[in-house]
Amino acid sequence: MILLLCVTTAVAVAVVVRRDRPPADPHVHAAAQQTRQLLTAVDVFPHRLHRNDYQRSAFGSAWTDAVSVAGGGNGCDTRNDILGRDLVEVHTGAVDTCGRAVLTGRLRSPYTGEWIVFRRGRTAGAVQIDHIVALALAWDMGAWAWPADRRADLANDPANLIAVDAASNQAKSDAPPGRWMPPLAAFRCRYAIQFVTVVAAYGLAVDADSREVLDDVLARC
């Protein structure tokens, strides 16, 4: 009876793990291996050096359209660009900052897998736009020395932005991968790929713990 119970429990655990970590997607696997190569060229600091002089305003006006990255200058603020990209069942309408602003929609948060209903107005904060490489982290890892336009590009680059649930965004704050990864294990490969892609493209450094975590995640994709 005890043996049967153990076997049954093991099967149940295996099912949970497979649901949380589905079989490797060959496209994600290939991207992960390429990203591991990118990671080898990223500068590594022994640890994060907190400068204590970070200000959000150093990265320009929040969600400004006046940037040179994808989506910049399209007549719509960055927040609505990302909501329109990441939400489903979207209904749009005109507001001051965007002629096709997202009014309603639904989001399956990539960090948790939970569905969230979005409605513009008082409850809009249930869906937040996360900087995969947090701006405060980027500041500490090299962005403090950049010109203003490059910082604004990072803050509004779609490659560095993703719509998520508010709780996960707040729990992450400005933590690097060595201290925080998405709770949903099935999304960690894509998160690591995007994180490394952004730091490599912008010439940012990573701390040693985060480099180890990123490499381990990518190796398992």
Give the domain ranges of the chain: 26-220
pLDDT at residue number 6: 34
Residue 2 has pLDDT above 90, yes or no: no
Query: Are 186 and 196 within 8 A, CB to CB?
Result: no
**Average pLDDT over the chain, rounded to an integer:** 91
pLDDT at residue number 109: 98
How does pLDDT run across 148-181, given as a tens digit for each residue?
999 999 999 999 999 999 999 999 999 999 999 9
pLDDT at residue number 5: 33
For range 11-38, the mean pLDDT: 70
Report how far residue 138's alpha carbon sits from residue 154's, in angstroms, rounded to the nearest whole number: 9
Residue 9 has pLDDT above 80, yes or no: no
Contacts from 31-35 at CB under 8 Å and sequence distance 24+? 31/193, 31/221, 32/189, 32/192, 32/193, 32/218, 32/219, 32/221, 33/218, 33/221, 35/192, 35/193, 35/196, 35/197, 35/218
pLDDT band at 22 (very low <50, low <70, confident <90, very high): low
DSSP state of 174: T
What's the pTM?
0.88
Residue type, 218: L
pLDDT at residue number 123: 85
Q: Does an H or E element contain 117, and which? A: strand 115-119
């790929």: which residue's tokens? 193
């729990």: which residue's tokens? 171
In 3-state terms, what secondary structure has residue 64? Answer: coil
Residue type, 34: Q
Report how far residue 209's alpha carbon sits from residue 180's, in angstroms, rounded to the nearest whole number: 11
Query: Are 59 and 151 within 8 A, CB to CB?
Result: yes
How does pLDDT run across 44-80, given as a tens digit for each residue?
999 999 999 999 999 999 999 999 999 999 999 999 9
Residue 10 has pLDDT above 90, yes or no: no
pLDDT at residue number 91: 97
Residue 14 has pLDDT above 80, yes or no: no
pLDDT at residue number 122: 83
pLDDT at residue number 23: 64
Report which of 102, 116, 103, 196 is spatially closest to residue 164, judged by C-alpha positions: 116
How does pLDDT run across 106-143, given as a tens digit for each residue?
999 999 999 999 999 988 899 999 999 999 999 999 99
